Amino acid sequence: MTSPESAQIPVTESLVAAAEQLFATRASVVAATAIAADFARHPGPKHGLVVGAGPGSAVLSAAVDALGTDDTLTVVAGNATEDLRAQLRLAGAWVEQRVRVVESLADADTPGADDVLVAEPLTGSADDARAELETLAKHLRPGGVLSVGVPAAAFLAGGAGEELDRQSGLFGVGADLVLRSMPPLRVHRLRYTAAEAELAERLAPLARTSSVRLTPHMNIDSNGIAAAAICLGAAVAARRMGLRRAWLLPALAAAPVAAFFRDPQREVPTDPAVVVAASDGKVLAVETVRDERLGPDEYLRIAVFLSVLDVHINRAPVAGRVVDQFVVDGGFAAAMKPEAEHNVAAYTVLETTHGTVVVAQRTGLIARRIVHRAPVGSLLAKGERFGLIRFGSRTDVYLPAGAATAQVAVGDQVVGGETVIARWKG
């Protein structure tokens, strides 16, 4: 007769296996969302190419979810071709009409894809990865994006991870570290030929899946998760060292530190004639200036001061293509003072349909770290997150003088991605 203890073992193991499967499914969905993010924000009509997908592929599901009425998809399924075709028939005529399944890339015969999505993490040697990326890049339209993931720890061992890091340095237009995937996955987006700046005006802001969603309207940036984890780790270490109540300080600091990196959803105005604030804060200056770092042209500059209580996520004030990004050395004066003009700053130069627009992220007395996530070649939608500054700072938006009229005054409070700070003329 089976004892109660032995009878419980298979049940427990089944529950553990089910929990692991559920976590893996959810993790793969998060990673797939990151891989399909650029395809999903394209308004269409668009064509996508999914490579290495089979029945149940989370990347394929994310790509199908992103299809619009005039969009199409080609899927390279290899040995799973017939099974995948059968699955798509069950999905209904609407999907079956828009998704074509082939066995190999040679059969794809596409006119070129706006996005190529690699359904499985890239592994193997650097040479193999390079050859595969070169082959896939041939299926991209001019300005198209190749999205591929690699295990986050792979770069430590060289091989495919090292090659992807190398190519990202040359062609990368964004990366996302997906910690909730098993194993953690780094997703790279590569653009081998320049995209038109006009396309940015039609794109939706790119979702950043490595941020943690707390509610439908509030995320915490991944920097906040890391900072809170450091605080909690310090608290645990102090407690184990027997430092009496000293451990309470980092433990209690974890929540406010994480809150500093809060990342709320914002309703970006759809009017193409408006310019939105690049950050939350108070307007410090509205003036016409020349900045030697930007050449001889005059700009309308709108400067905004961020206190430590403001949201510090920075957003694109207009839609455009990043054509330059550079850091200027300097001091760390209080951001609300005129001396902050010469603080350390990161400049992002955008090509837009209205001329050159520049955003300067300036450090402050406390702020010493600028996070920038929009490499040269990136397309930024209006209101799209592109970086942050830690612990009090300033953002300056430079617009071509004479092309825009300011809609704010000194002392006004603005909300990043929502408040209209200027309007284009004509």
The per-residue pLDDT for 110 is: 67
Q: Name the least confident of 24-38, 83-97, 341-355, 388-402.
A: 24-38
pLDDT (tens digit per residue) in 374-386:
999 999 999 999 9
* Dist CA 371 CA 72 (whole Å): 36
The per-residue pLDDT for 393 is: 86
Residue 78 identity (one-letter amino acid): G
Annotation says 393 is catalytic:
yes
**What is the percent of the chain where pLDDT is above 90?**
63
Binned at pLDDT 50, 70 and 90, residue 211 comes out as: confident
Q: What is the 3-state secondary structure (H, E, C) of the chain?
A: CCCHHHHHHHHHHHHHHHHHHHHHHHHHHHHHHHHCHHHHHCCCCCEEEEECCCCCCHHHHHHHHCCCCCCEEEEECHHHHHHHHHHHHHHCHHHHHHEEEECCHHHHCCCCEEEEEECCCCCCCHHHHHHHHHHHHCCEEEEEEEEEEEECCHHHHCHHHHHHHHHHHHHEEEEEEECCCCCCEEEEEECCCCCCHHHHHCCCCCCCCCCEEEECCEEECHHHHHHHHHHHHHHHHHHHCCCHHHHHHHHHHHHHHHHHCEEECCCCCCCCCEEECCCCEEEEEEEEEECHHHCCCEEEEEEEEECCCCCCEEECCCCEEEEEEEEECCECCCCCCHHHHHECEEEEEEEECCEEEEEEEECCCCCCCEEECCCCCCEECCCCEEEEECCCEEEEEEEECCCEEECCCCCCEECCCCCEEEEECC
Which of 210, 222, 378, 393 is labelled catalytic?
A: 393
pLDDT above 80 (res 194): yes
The per-residue pLDDT for 155 is: 60
pLDDT (tens digit per residue) in 91-107:
999 999 999 999 999 99
Helix axes 58-65, 4-35, angle to 10 degrees: 50
pLDDT above 60 (res 170): yes
Pick 20 or 324 by higher pLDDT.
Answer: 324
The per-residue pLDDT for 135 is: 95
Binned at pLDDT 50, 70 and 90, residue 123 comes out as: confident
**Domain 4-193, classified CATH 3.40.50.150, yes or no:** yes
Instruction: Name beta bridge partners: 366.
Output: none
The answer to whether 385 touches 395, Cβ cutoff 8 Å, is no
Instruction: Name beta bridge partners: 262.
Output: 220
The per-residue pLDDT for 404 is: 97
Angle in degrees, CA 321, 322, 328, rounded to 5: 155
**Domain 268-424, classified CATH 3.40.720, yes or no:** no
pLDDT (tens digit per residue) in 47-70:
999 999 989 899 999 999 999 999
Q: Spell out the domain ranges in the chain.
A: 4-193, 222-260, 268-424
The per-residue pLDDT for 30 is: 86
| Chain mean position to CA 247 | 35
The pLDDT of 392-414, averaged and rounded, is 95
Pick 348 or 222 by higher pLDDT.
Answer: 348
The four Cα atoms 156, 157, 159, 164 give a dihedral, to 10 degrees, of: -10
* Dist CA 144 CA 114 (whole Å): 5
